[in-house]
Structure 1
Amino acid sequence: MTIRYEDRPPLIGAPGDHREWDKWREDLKLWRTEALQALQLRRESYEKPEFEWMQRCFAFGKVMLFDRQFLDPVSGEFKADAWLDQVDREFGGFDALALWQAYPRIGIDSRNQFDHYRLVPGGLGALKRLVEKIHKRGTKVVLAYNPWDVGTRREPKSDAETLVDLVSEVGFDGVFLDTLTEGGRDLRSAMDRARPGVVLESELALPVQAIPDHHASWAQWFDDSDVPGILRNKWIEQRHMQHLIRRWDTDHSGELQTAWMNGAGVFVWQNVFGSWNGWTDRDKAILRSMLPIQRRYWQQFTAGVWTPLVETTVEGLFASRWEHKGTVLWTLVNRLSKPVDGFIHGISSDGTIRLFDLVRGEEVDHAQVIVPGRWIGAILAIPSRMVDNDFKAFLTAQKGRFDANAGLTRIEPMPVRKKVTIAKRPSAPAGMKRVDKGVYNLVSRFRVRECDEYENCAYQNQAYPMIHQHKLVERPVDVGEFALMEREVSNKEFAAFLKATNYRPRQAEGFLARWKNGSPTPSIEQLPVTNVDMNDARAYATWAGMRLPTEDEWQLAVIQHKLHTGDVWNWTESEHTDGRTTFSILKGGCANSISGSQWYFDSGVQSPEWSAKYIHFWPALDRSDAIGFRCAVDL
């Protein structure tokens, strides 16, 4: 007899009428049985101990490797301990951390996604030491794979084999599959060759058929029903971990509640490609209360008998039941914005079984629970013999966390521009074009990306925001009298600067990479100097008695005097930082063009109005053969 598999949505909604819950649960059980029979899923990999870590990975975080709180670009040192100490205080710690490397910078030149790992300070050796340091804290480390990166430098081997090399050499524990629903059997086989226990986790909704090869998947922008629904993949295989994520939301209580009711995890992501969307203190406090329970009772969620939507006595309060080895755990959520005080039907303590409120860290006589608005609750029924000193210490810690959950919401700083001033010149030097003092109506154009332009993205509480479209910004600009170079500084001119000053950058990686033996070859002497970062360009300008132009000055002068552009992008004096992300605005475009994906940095020759936000990483990666500079003077 052939059993036909009928798929369900990634999040299966629940009926609003509690009288329908029994039938809904029975239908779910029948569907799961039929699905397992029809698909013949191979689930033996979930029995392997090397993959068990993902079953306990309830808090998964992401860090941008360019984040100034994670990397000191001056010393080239990663500040992992300080960064993770803050995570411990605010969130209760991460079980895994993804190290994000390339987007939204990739595509400005030919360097590919793997180069962005190789070119971190100290190279792969330093990256390996970073991973080892994070491992010592009990946190797994995951790399990001961008399958859309098809237009940059090609590796001499396949992406899968390159990933094998990276995972093996650095010691990564997993691969995050950016923009993919699944990685496929070939990638699974490749990771098994790299090292034991390498987990694949998809960004998009993982098909049920791929559960055997992917021990985790994102539950991104899953819309839950008013009554908490069921994560399809978790229902099919309880050992499969899912991480709830809504990157642009300002209220994460919905993700936390769905995770709590499903025995799943959450993905914590605050620096979203350079746009800051920090979690509120309330949401952090909920997670700090959740995680110790999930980590202590993780087998309830992976091997226990799961009963969704058991009956409670009050509107807005919902519960899941998890029974495992003589203990029963109820995870509860309050959907309302006000506190609720209710009971779970049919349970009470007696001489042999004791009841505890695990969120508040206290014993209760019956299954009454008080849950604050949009918060969580937990009741544990446990044999008296299991109430030992270790359990009592756990309760004490939980009570402390709950009592300390109030805090002040911090105001996040906006990016601040760094200013540079120089002495004025009486007239425009030769080879420079003058612009009069005045207020100009300036129209700039940029492509909307997740890093936006100057401020954080205005995508709050949107699931699929409109990105990649063009946006015009019109504003009055007040400038003093100045002059701009007609063309970029050449390699020959930069060589004269080095000879006169013996300038050497503190971090020389990638500096003047096109030169041979410390000098430009004759064929490139008159071409724009490239492979210099903003500080290198500033050093030249200072020596020459000039400065870098602002992006507005650059645009005004180029338009007024119809100056040639498009050989290379131009640095401008537009550096901004919010303490986490540092960026500047590039102008002019570049003759080189990287194509093949909408996710790449802006490429090709651009109009003078075009602006492109370039996030700074560290000198070796900021220096590009696609970026040069011009100088300006004040008049």
Structure 2
Amino acid sequence: MCNKFYLILLLLLGPKVWAQQPVFSGSYKELFKGPPNSEQRDEWLANLKTWRDKQKADMHYDNSFYVNPSLKWVKHTFIYVQMMAHDRFFYDPVTRKYTVNRYLADLKKRYGGIDAVLIWPTYPNIGIDNRNQFDLTADMPGGQAAVKQMIRDFKANGVRVFFPIMIWDHGTRRIGMKMPEALVKEMKQLGADGMNGDTMFGVSEDFYQYTQSENYPLAFQPEQSLRSLKMLEWNRLSWGYFWGYEPAPGVDVYKWVEPQHQVNVTNRWAVDKTFDLQWAFFNGIGYNSWENIWAIWNQIPDRYAEVIRRISAVYHAYPDSWSSKDWEPYIPVLQKNIYATKFPSAGRTIYNFINRDSAEVKGGQISVPYHRGDTYYDLWNGHQLKAEIKNGNAILSFDIEGFGYGSLLVAQRPLKPAENAFVAKMAVMSKHKLKTYAADWKPISQQMVTIAKTKVPAKAPDGMINIPATDKFQFESVGVMIEGNELPTAVGVQHSWESHPSRSQKHEMKVASFYMDKYPVTNEQFKKFLDASRYHPADDHNFLKDWVKGSYPAGSARLPVTWVSLDDARAYAKWAGKRLPHEWEWQYAAQGTDGRKYPWGNENIKTNYPPADTARAMRKPTAVDAYPAGASPFGVMDMVGNIWQWTDEYADLHSRTAIVKGSSYFHAQTSGWYFPPALEVNKYGKYLLMAPSLDRAETIGFRCVVDAK
């Protein structure tokens, strides 16, 4: 009844009442819709200003955090990238060195470089055991000293460094203080500049309060939209999830309320970046050039890389213009499908343009008030413009290619030498139209790391079971990775018979006969290896972490050895005259030829493997011979539910990953973002590799095979 009354009242009062409230656009209400038409533009803009003033007054808005001189850099964070700590351009496990310069040189070559980096060492591996987000950062190669130096290396190149907040991480090892306090202290110790709140609808105020008590300002950037505009006071940045696009660009809500707030448009699975980059340029905001997505490589195609290079060049030539408190969107223009925004500053006014049509638009683009002494420059194409003066206005003409960009500078005083150099630089850059650069995308090629055959023994080795050859093994497997279906030809791994990586495999194959360890390698067996070989890894952080003074704890001889890296497992296998199994060999030994889901059949019989451990403290694995009823058709034991087991490694230009099979007893609770179980033998986990210090886990062990006749 009440709703009907107000509806009738609004209809009677007319359209101006409707126009008082801005209309939001997109799924996350981070954009305003533009004016209905050009005639209503001034009224629309007045309503936006009234709305902004009212919002600030109602929440007693305080922008003191924005005027903090130690955070001035935030509004210049135009090109920002989330990167995996596991990226091969970032760390070299052979030399055991962070290769920051190599990483940055690649980005500079391809799209002009970055202003900030979000280093991500946690998800999707977190939850493989009970190491929490602090442990995983501490386990990065070289420890805290090397990480601090790596951060200094980024800063020496003018790049600010962020780390994630895994606010949902409440299923791993407990910490001794509140998460916001612990994270702020950690960032202060490392010398980091900011934090990204994974899944957070605004980084909460307690994080900001701890920066105050620690006297260490950090820039906070939530992944999701803000729960309230009040959170703008301490959330200096945000991601722009501008989904639900419309032909006319939306106006960024947060930038409108607080012009110094930096937004980085983010759309990690997109291949065509046109909308994302146009929306960013129209609003004078930044872009998240995210390519390594959990070891799924979504490289920016050349055309959009060139757009980023040119947008970044314009932004950096006039870095303070884009946070102008007097910026205005939807400036009237002279051509259809062209949209413009004005960014005024002292002695300079810049207009950014986007073309929302596929056809190039030539001729007069905009009419601006004429003032004697003003000069005009086409910044995008790099040359001075001659204005046509008519009725006290200057009409400026220049070309904007299809789905392209423009940038006009109106200068109230002569250009400085750096400005002239920039205009000349853009003239060179714009000689090649954007349409001449390739916009196509293809998945990155991936290779399986070769596993050399072993010598064929004269008889079955002790403790091993013969797995007979088969000509028709139906190898069907699917990865349990949480994300990636948006790029179906990139997620997963690429076998020799596949043209691209894939989450699932279905392939009939021949499998030669081999011997497989009846049980996973135990602590007792690994100790014999160490005593005989004197093996000790160069990167020994976390190596046999649960052992004491070079030996396993009393009573754990028959427990599977864990806290061993893929390299540690290979070293053992080589010493023993064995090798690690291929994933299909492991699956065949566990499954037989009837396609069963579990070693014993198709029913999940929970008494055939260890019970799940959901406690944050996490118990030890179970003895390898504790569940004889869980045997495979060939009599191989302890294949599922106790520990994950190393099999194949896959590598591409940017990532290394291992296929782990069998799942473990530890099941982290409270979130669906933890490393998922894969108890069924036709499933696999994809475990990202960086360095042994980080790769070793309390739930990953291995078993070996030997080739047979």
What range describes the TM-score normalised by the shorter chain of this pair?
over 0.9
2:649 equivalent in structure 1 = 575
Cα distance in 2 for partners of 1:89, 1:554 equals 42
Amino acid at match of 1:634: D
2:284 is equivalent to residue 263 of structure 1 = yes
Q: Deviations over 1:419-476 (max 9, x none)?
A: 1122223553343222222221133343242367996239xxxxxxxxxxxx865432
2:46 is equivalent to residue 26 of structure 1 = yes
1:132 equivalent in structure 2 = 152
2:581 equivalent in structure 1 = 549
Q: Could you say if the C-alpha distance between residues 37 and 202 of structure 1 is closer, same or farther in structure 2, counting changes exceeding 3 Å?
A: same
2:567 is equivalent to residue 535 of structure 1 = yes
Moved more, 293-302 or 119-128: 293-302
Cα distance in 2 for partners of 1:585, 1:79 equals 26
Amino acid at match of 1:370: D
SS in 2 for 1:517: coil
2:707 is equivalent to residue 634 of structure 1 = yes
2:307 is equivalent to residue 286 of structure 1 = yes
1:466 equivalent in structure 2 = none
Unaligned runs of 5+ in 2: 1-19, 388-395, 493-502, 593-631
Cα distance in 2 for partners of 1:5, 1:518 equals 70
Amino acid at match of 1:46: Y
Kept after mapping to 1: 8 A contact 2:89/2:103 = yes
| Alpha-carbon shift at residue 632 of structure 1 (Å) | 0.9
Q: Deviations over 1:391-446 (max 9, x none)?
A: 21121122222236655678653221011122223553343222222221133343
1:368 equivalent in structure 2 = 397
Cα distance in 2 for partners of 1:319, 1:520 equals 69
SS in 2 for 1:403: coil
Q: Among 493, 505, 510, which residue is 2:537 paired with?
A: 505
Kept after mapping to 1: 8 A contact 2:317/2:419 = no
Q: Deviations over 1:500-543 (max 9, x none)?
A: 22222221211111222112233111211111111111111122
1:243 equivalent in structure 2 = 264
2:134 equivalent in structure 1 = 114
Amino acid at match of 1:388: K
Cα distance in 1 for partners of 2:654, 2:437 equals 22
Kept after mapping to 2: 8 A contact 1:313/1:342 = no
SS in 1 for 2:320: helix
Unaligned runs of 5+ in 1: 459-470
Kept after mapping to 2: 8 A contact 1:445/1:472 = yes
Amino acid at match of 2:491: C
Q: Could you say if the C-alpha distance between residues 343 and 192 of structure 1 is closer, same or farther in structure 2, counting changes exceeding 3 Å?
A: farther
SS in 1 for 2:176: coil
Amino acid at match of 1:371: I
2:307 is equivalent to residue 233 of structure 1 = no
Q: Could you say if the C-alpha distance between residues 501 and 196 of structure 1 is closer, same or farther in structure 2, counting changes exceeding 3 Å?
A: closer
Kept after mapping to 2: 8 A contact 1:415/1:454 = no
Moved more, 88-97 or 473-482: 473-482
| Alpha-carbon shift at residue 44 of structure 1 (Å) | 2.4
2:213 is equivalent to residue 193 of structure 1 = yes
- In the superposition, the TM-score normalised over structure 2's length comes to 0.83
Moved more, 430-439 or 257-266: 430-439
1:467 equivalent in structure 2 = none
Q: Could you say if the C-alpha distance between residues 193 and 343 of structure 1 is closer, same or farther in structure 2, counting changes exceeding 3 Å?
A: farther
Q: Among 490, 499, 513, which residue is 1:456 paired with?
A: 490
1:394 equivalent in structure 2 = 422
Moved more, 79-88 or 555-564: 555-564
| Alpha-carbon shift at residue 62 of structure 1 (Å) | 1.7
Moved more, 87-96 or 165-174: 87-96
Moved more, 517-526 or 562-571: 562-571
SS in 1 for 2:658: strand
Q: Among 285, 299, 322, which residue is 1:301 paired with?
A: 322
Cα distance in 1 for partners of 2:457, 2:144 equals 47
2:672 is equivalent to residue 598 of structure 1 = yes
CA RMSD, aligned part only? 2.3
Q: Deviations over 1:255-275 (max 9, x none)?
A: 111111111111110001111
Moved more, 219-228 or 50-59: 219-228
SS in 1 for 2:330: strand
Q: Deviations over 1:461-495 (max 9, x none)?
A: xxxxxxxxxx8654323211112111101111111
Moved more, 579-588 or 320-329: 320-329
| Alpha-carbon shift at residue 117 of structure 1 (Å) | 1.1
Kept after mapping to 2: 8 A contact 1:141/1:174 = yes
Cα distance in 2 for partners of 1:194, 1:412 equals 45
Q: State the identity as a percent.
A: 27
Query: How does 1:52-131 map onto structure 2 within 5 Å?
Result: 52-131=72-151
2:659 is equivalent to residue 625 of structure 1 = no
Moved more, 496-505 or 347-356: 347-356
Kept after mapping to 1: 8 A contact 2:76/2:319 = yes
Query: How does 1:192-231 map onto structure 2 within 5 Å?
Result: 192-206=212-226, 207-231=228-252
2:500 equivalent in structure 1 = none
Cα distance in 1 for partners of 2:454, 2:38 equals 73
Amino acid at match of 2:207: L
Kept after mapping to 1: 8 A contact 2:122/2:133 = yes
Cα distance in 1 for partners of 2:441, 2:675 equals 32
Amino acid at match of 1:449: I
| Alpha-carbon shift at residue 158 of structure 1 (Å) | 1.2
Amino acid at match of 1:198: L
Cα distance in 1 for partners of 2:444, 2:179 equals 39
Kept after mapping to 1: 8 A contact 2:647/2:661 = no
Q: Among 463, 473, 490, which residue is 2:522 paired with?
A: 490
2:453 is equivalent to residue 380 of structure 1 = no
Query: Which structure has the larger Rg over C-alpha atoms?
Result: 2
Q: Among 420, 440, 445, which residue is 1:414 paired with?
A: 445
Query: How does 1:330-345 map onto structure 2 within 5 Å?
Result: 330-345=351-366
Q: Could you say if the C-alpha distance between residues 14 and 348 of structure 1 is closer, same or farther in structure 2, counting changes exceeding 3 Å?
A: closer
Q: Could you say if the C-alpha distance between residues 444 and 224 of structure 1 is closer, same or farther in structure 2, counting changes exceeding 3 Å?
A: closer
| Alpha-carbon shift at residue 618 of structure 1 (Å) | 0.7
SS in 1 for 2:673: coil
Runs of 4+ in 1 over 4 A off after TM superposition: 4-8, 348-351, 404-412, 451-455
Kept after mapping to 1: 8 A contact 2:85/2:120 = yes
| Alpha-carbon shift at residue 360 of structure 1 (Å) | 1.2
SS in 2 for 1:19: helix
Kept after mapping to 2: 8 A contact 1:415/1:455 = no
2:484 is equivalent to residue 447 of structure 1 = no
Kept after mapping to 1: 8 A contact 2:660/2:687 = yes
Q: Give the length in aligned residue pairs.
A: 618
Amino acid at match of 1:547: R
Kept after mapping to 2: 8 A contact 1:104/1:451 = no
SS in 2 for 1:615: strand
Amino acid at match of 1:338: A
| Alpha-carbon shift at residue 225 of structure 1 (Å) | 2.6
SS in 2 for 1:142: strand
SS in 1 for 2:519: coil
- In the superposition, the TM-score normalised over structure 1's length comes to 0.92
SS in 2 for 1:298: coil
Cα distance in 1 for partners of 2:215, 2:288 equals 25
Amino acid at match of 2:580: L
Cα distance in 2 for partners of 1:63, 1:403 equals 32
Cα distance in 1 for partners of 2:589, 2:280 equals 55
| Alpha-carbon shift at residue 630 of structure 1 (Å) | 0.8
Cα distance in 2 for partners of 1:401, 1:434 equals 65
| Alpha-carbon shift at residue 290 of structure 1 (Å) | 1.3
Amino acid at match of 1:105: N
Cα distance in 2 for partners of 1:290, 1:221 equals 18
Q: Deviations over 1:8-30 (max 9, x none)?
A: 52111224533332332222122
Kept after mapping to 1: 8 A contact 2:514/2:707 = yes
